[in-house]
Amino acid sequence: MLTTSELIYLKFNAWVCTNFSISISDIEVEDPEDINGSLQIKIGRDRSKPLYETKQGLPLYYLAMWFAYNWWRLNYEEEIEEDGENASFDWEMSHRMTAVGKGCIWPDLVFIPKLDENMMVVIDNANHKSYMLDVEMFKDKVTEFIYDVLLAIPDSERFGSSLHKLWAAVMEDRGDVDMKKQRIAEAVMHKDPEEDL
pLDDT tens string 150-170: 999 988 888 889 999 999 999
Average pLDDT of the segment spanning 99-103? 84
SS3 state at 170: helix
Instruction: Parse the chain into domains and list their residue ranges.
Output: 4-188
Is residue 197's pLDDT more than 70?
no
Phi, psi of 149 (to 5 degrees): -70, -40
pTM of the model: 0.88
DSSP string over 6-61: HHHHHHHSPEE-SEEEEEEEEEEEEETTEEEEEEEEEEESTTPPPSEE--S-EEHH
Query: CA 86, CA 52: separation in Å to the nearest integer?
Result: 25
Q: Which helix (H) or strand (E) holds 103?
A: none
SS3 state at 91: helix
Average pLDDT of the segment spanning 102-122? 87
Phi, psi of 36 (to 5 degrees): -120, 160
Pairing relationship of beta strands 129-134 and 15-16 according to DSSP bridges: parallel
Query: CA 121, CA 138: separation in Å to the nearest integer?
Result: 10
**What is the predicted pLDDT for the residue at 122?**
87
Query: CA 153, CA 161: separation in Å to the nearest integer?
Result: 8
**What is the predicted pLDDT for the residue at 84?**
47
Pairing relationship of beta strands 52-53 and 34-44 according to DSSP bridges: antiparallel
Give residue 4's pLDDT band: very low, low, confident or very high (50, 70, 90). low
- Do residues 123 and 7 touch, judged by C-beta distance below 8 A? yes
**pLDDT tens digits for 24-64?**
999 999 888 889 999 999 887 666 677 777 767 889 999 99
Q: How many CA atoms, within 13 angstroms, populate the side-chain half-sphere of residue 94?
A: 25
Please name the residues in contact with 17: beta carbons below 8 A apart, sequence gap of 6 or more: 43, 44, 45, 131, 132, 133
When the pLDDT of each residue in the chain is averaged and rounded to a whole number, the result is 85
SS3 state at 129: strand
